[in-house]
Amino acid sequence: MRKPGLLFTFFLCVAAILLLVGCNILDNLVKDGGGSAPLSQLLNRFQGEKGNNDATAVITTPQQGESTIKLFFADKSGTQLIEVYRTIPKTLSLAKETVCQWLMGPTGGQGDVYAVVNPATSLRSINIKNGIAIVDLSKEFLEPYSNIAPEIALYGLVNTLTQFPTVELVKIRIEGQDINMYRGLDLSNLRFRHDLIGFSAGPLPQGASMGDNEEPLTQDVLIAGLGKETGAESEEKYEEEPKDGSGAREVISPSTMNLFTH
């Protein structure tokens, strides 16, 4: 009757000895192998995964500045310009982005304000140098749009660009070619026209920075898929008017600018 009890006690002792020996071997393996031992790496990986699961992810959102620009659209009759303020994210290509916003037309909630050109019109490139903005547009710009008078369509673009201190005169190209007339209008001296402005669509948003207090990027901005323009206006260096009015110019390398849109 005592043999089964003794046998059980024997196996229990053997199991205890094996357990103690195994723990000691495990400890020695970890100590001897350091961080390079496979077993140690496995344990460290397990602990690391557990720690990562307990961590709280921190997501940061970059704060981007804003600029407020003026866009000139048409009134209901198509015979007067309406000045509209629009806030956009700050960008190196302020002049280019301003023209793109103008081509997009009015947004909702701006009252009786209407686009002045065919919405299919696209900006091919823009180059600002020595106070002259050379804008290259697609052929749709030449097409009459709705009831908009030719003068309103033309000076909607001119006034939008000449709001910037570095732009005094605008020249227009269509599909890369210079044009002298636009629907019967002479294009030789395109400057800001106050007399065509009927009214403003709203006050400047409180706390906003005016786009005309900032310098539009005076670089040759190219739309994806088109080559670089040729001619005196397109050089490997691009000049930008200083804000301090000192007359000095900062020469900016195109390698530091975002020349292409995606």
Please state the domain extents for the chain.
66-218
Return averaged pLDDT per consecutive 10 residues of the chain, 262 residues in all.
65 68 51 49 48 36 73 96 94 93 86 92 97 98 96 98 96 97 96 91 51 41 35 33 35 34 38
At position 4, the amino acid (one-letter code) is P
Question: What's the pTM?
Answer: 0.57
Q: Looking at residue 243, what is its pLDDT?
A: 34
Residues in the chain: 262
176 φ/ψ sector (left φ>0, alpha ψ -120 to 50, else beta): left
pLDDT value of residue 169: 97
The predicted structure's pLDDT at residue 161: 98
Query: Given this model, what pLDDT does residue 109 score?
Result: 65
pLDDT at position 18 is 65
User: pLDDT at position 4, please?
Assistant: 62
Q: Coil, strand, or helix at residue 30?
A: helix
Q: Give residue 108's pLDDT.
A: 76
Q: Which residues contact 106 (CB under 8 A, 6 or more apart)?
A: 71, 73, 84, 113, 114, 115
CB contact burial 61-91 (16+ within 10 A = b; e otherwise): eeeeeebbbbbbbbbeebebbbbbbbeeeeb
What pLDDT is attached to residue 7?
72
